[in-house]
Structure 1
Amino acid sequence: MEFKMVVDKSITEQVQEFQLIAKKIALYGIALDKNIHVGAIVSKHPPSWKVYRSKLLDKKEDFTLEQLLQHLQIE
């Protein structure tokens, strides 16, 4: 299964869909590491978000999923 951002839906909506997928996977006893979860979301932003994506990836701190969602809503 591949998760790829699309331009016809909001980023927030797509992140919520990804979270639902992660929860379904967790029901089978497979937990996603939080850093991988956040990294997957950041890395799959559309090309128009390239500068923002690079800014997030260059930060030294690890983001929680909640912090990432706050950043996305502001952006």
Structure 2
Amino acid sequence: MPKKQNCFAYKKNGCKALRVKECEGCICPFFKTKGEYKRGKKEVKKRINSYDEPERSYLIDAYYGGKLKV
């Protein structure tokens, strides 16, 4: 069973993804290992790059505040 310390969002002072008082560990619906998180980011970038320039720019602006590097 994965521990909360294995979650990509777990930091010493709590969860950086959610505003919760205490980490729920592996039962949290947002729980991902650091490896799963990195693979997910690669998949997102690949998917966004598959769109034409106007659509790609729209997605990056709308969902990443224009800050996603693809």
**Range into which the TM-score falls when normalised by the shorter chain:** 0.3 to 0.5
TM-score by length of 1: 0.32
Structure with the largest fraction of strand: 2
Q: RCO greater where, 1 or 2, for CA within 8 Å and sep 6 or more?
A: 1
TM-score by length of 2: 0.34
Structure with the largest fraction of helix: 1
